[in-house]
């Protein structure tokens, strides 16, 4: 019995040596998958950067610089409970540095309750911030901090020549996740939406780059790394992105900065309008070329002083309800109104105290009205 066991063992050893000596499946082959970087999968090694596309490298390069100049803004406000007890509450948003001296652009609604403003930089250092200027009509605000060193900052680009389809990058602090990058394209231009307190924001950039709660005030950049917009609003449930976000064109902010430096305030006309043309215009007995129908005139505004008229009754036209009976703006300073954001684009080139000439249609006839522009609301 003992010899039989020894004989079988000897045969097994001999067989093992025969197999391993005639194939490549030796000890070296057995231990290779585990000894090679501890991996349990097969396949070629991936170079760290050789596999990145030029677009990916562009994203990486922009982020390395831009996220250092993007900041988190915390606004502390005091609210009351149902028992009238006062308690502090913090709202968060984003912003970005536009100079090494600590000037920061953001949205007005991010700092609307500016009792206590705190800015957190990318290195997690914190500073108290003061409000230098705000443009409520364009939802813009400028802050100042007193940095202890020179800070990185972003270049302001040009939003006038944007094209649908061009790449954009958004950086901000969605849901408190600082330094988050998302990418997309310009989805549309000249979008009008309703902002906070039922204000109308005109001529916005629409993008599918993911923008969520907390992104407000952060930069929207082009492929050169220049800021072409300020992320402002989204359409989506509970502050989440569904691929429809909006940014304020950066040229509006550049005008605010120019006016601040010159000691001027931004101009304001003081009307709410809806675009009307074609069948809608024909149904309302208006010229079919259409224009911007004034639905409301702000009391005490430049438009009010000039005698412009808003809607007097609400009617149902197709699937839409319109406030009708007001003036139809057909041209501004001799330029036909062919865009929904014609007013904001015209005012972008003017200052408070300047005059605009409006061609309007009222009660079956066309007339020209000169309006001396008023000032936007105070800081």
Q: What is the DSSP string of 124-190?
A: S-EEE-EEEEEEGGGTEEEEE---SS------B---TT--TT-EEEEEE-GGG-TTEEEEEEEEEEE
Q: Which two tokens stand for residue 257?
A: 């900065």
Contact 332, 363 (CB under 8 A): no
Q: Which of 135, 139, 259, 304 is catalytic?
A: 139
> Among this protein's residues, is 159 annotated catalytic?
no
pLDDT digits (tens, 9 = 90+) for 69-118: 999 998 765 444 444 444 345 578 899 999 889 999 999 888 876 568 88
Distance CA 16, CA 150 (A): 71
pLDDT digits (tens, 9 = 90+) for 306-316: 999 998 888 87
> Among this protein's residues, is 139 annotated catalytic?
yes
Q: Which of 216, 241, 331, 346 is catalytic?
A: 216
Task: Report the helix count and the strand count for the chain, using DSSP H and E.
Answer: 7, 23
Q: What is the pLDDT of residue 280?
A: 79
Q: Give the strand pairing for 180-194 and 200-207.
A: antiparallel
> Among this protein's residues, is 109 annotated catalytic?
yes
Q: What is the pLDDT of residue 86?
A: 41
Least Cα distance to 347 among 263, 267, 275, 260 occurs for: 267
Q: What is the pLDDT of residue 32?
A: 44
Percent of the chain with pLDDT over 70: 76
- Whether pTM > 0.75 for this model: the answer is no
Distance CA 338, CA 354 (A): 22
Which residues of the chain are under the pLDDT cut of 50? Answer: 23-37, 40-41, 46, 78-88, 378-379
- Rounded (5°) CA angle 338-341-342: 55
Distance CA 72, CA 218 (A): 9
Contacts of 237 (CB under 8 A, 6+ apart): none
Strand, coil or helix: what is 41?
coil
Q: What is the DSSP letter of 68?
A: G
Q: Which of 67, 75, 94, 109 is catalytic?
A: 109
Q: Which two tokens stand for residue 73?
A: 């803004």
pLDDT digits (tens, 9 = 90+) for 275-295: 888 887 888 889 988 899 998
């Amino acid at each position: 019995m003992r010899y039989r066991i020894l004989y079988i063992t000897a045969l097994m050893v001999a067989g093992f040596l025969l197999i391993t000596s005639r194939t490549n499946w030796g000890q070296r082959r057995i231990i290779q998958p585990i000894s090679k970087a501890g991996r349990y999968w097969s396949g070629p090694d991936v170079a760290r950067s050789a596999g990145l596309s030029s677009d990916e490298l562009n994203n990486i390069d922009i982020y390395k610089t831009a996220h250092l100049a993007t900041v988190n803004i915390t606004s502390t406000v005091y609210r009351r409970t149902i028992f009238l007890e006062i308690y502090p509450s913090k709202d968060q948003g984003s912003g970005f540095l536009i100079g090494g001296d600590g000037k920061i652009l953001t949205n007005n609604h991010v700092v609307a309750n500016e009792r206590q403003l705190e800015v957190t930089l990318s290195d997690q250092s914190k500073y108290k911030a003061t409000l230098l200027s705000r443009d409520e009509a364009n939802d813009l605000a400028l802050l100042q901090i007193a940095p202890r060193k020179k800070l990185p900052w972003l270049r302001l680009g040009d939003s006038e020549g944007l094209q649908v389809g061009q790449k954009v990058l958004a950086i901000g602090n969605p849901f408190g996740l600082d330094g988050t990058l998302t990418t997309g394209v310009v989805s549309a231009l000249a979008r009008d939406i309703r902002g906070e307190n039922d204000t109308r924001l005109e001529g916005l950039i629409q993008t599918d780059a993911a923008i969520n709660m907390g992104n407000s005030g952060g930069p929207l950049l082009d492929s050169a790394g220049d800021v072409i917009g300020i992320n402002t609003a989204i359409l989506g449930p509970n502050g989440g992105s569904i691929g429809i976000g909006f940014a304020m064109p950066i040229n509006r902010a550049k005008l605010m900065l120019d006016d601040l430096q010159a000691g001027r305030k931004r101009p304001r006309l003081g009307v709410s309008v809806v675009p009307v043309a074609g069948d809608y215009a024909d149904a309302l007995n208006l010229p079919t070329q259409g224009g911007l129908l004034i639905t409301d005139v702000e009391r005490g505004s430049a438009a009010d002083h000039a005698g412009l008229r808003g809607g007097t009754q609400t009617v149902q036209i197709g699937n839409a309800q319109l406030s009708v009976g007001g003036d139809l703006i057909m041209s501004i300073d001799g330029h036909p109104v062919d865009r929904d954001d014609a007013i904001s684009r015209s005012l972008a080139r003017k200052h408070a105290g300047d005059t605009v000439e409006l061609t309007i249609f009222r009660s079956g006839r066309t007339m020209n009205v000169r309006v001396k522009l008023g000032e936007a609301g105070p800081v």
